[in-house]
Structure 1
Amino acid sequence: MIPEGRHEIEHTVRAVLADVLGLTPERVAGFTADTPLFGALPELDSMAVAGVLTELEDRLGVLIEDDEVDGEMLESFGSLVAFAAGKALV
């Protein structure tokens, strides 16, 4: 099911991070918009980024182009949610 609102997008991003990175749901539930991701989570290395993006594509029903991927979108949980919302809620 494709999420229809920002709350659903945030829930989906949390689920993807938990599933792909092997994080506990409790840990991911504690993420705020300012929680740093890439460079701060050892589980989120360059290989894991590809898995996260692929899973987001599948769950959100969107296509993420290579030229859309940059350090800013992975800087924090909030920036990743904003990116995903921008793709899915257009």
Structure 2
Amino acid sequence: MYLEEVKTILIDVLGLGEAGRALEADSPLLGSLPELDSMAVVTLIGALETHFDIEIGDDDLSASTFATLGSLAAFVAEKQAG
């Protein structure tokens, strides 16, 4: 459930278009997508917070959160659950 929603938000925020549809759970993000720079991370966090009605604090974030699409989706699921 979360994977597809996070993927759609990621595609929209980064402007990946059809190329983003190829992303899968194990697709690397940070360091692999040139579009995912520091400003894009801030925009992406805002979009995730709005869409999923969650709060993401600075202490919640680490490079491992953005390692793969799957890790980002799992992070969102965890934030929404707790």
Structure 2 residue aligned with 1:64: 56
Unaligned runs of 5+ in 1: 1-6
Counting aligned pairs with the same residue, the percent is 41
Which aligned segments of 4 or more residues in structure 1 are displaced greater than 3 angstroms?
none
Instruction: Give 1 or 2: higher helix fraction.
Output: 2
Where do 1:9-88 residues align within 5 Å? 9-24=2-17, 26-88=18-80
Count of aligned pairs between the two proteins: 82
Cα deviation for residue 15 of structure 1 reads 1.5
Unaligned runs of 5+ in 2: none
TM-score (norm 2): 0.92
TM-score (norm 1): 0.84
Once superposed, what is the RMSD of the aligned Cα atoms? 1.1
Which residue identity is paired with 2:7? R
Q: Provide the rounded CA distance (Å) in 1 between the counterparts of 2:20 and 2:15.
A: 10
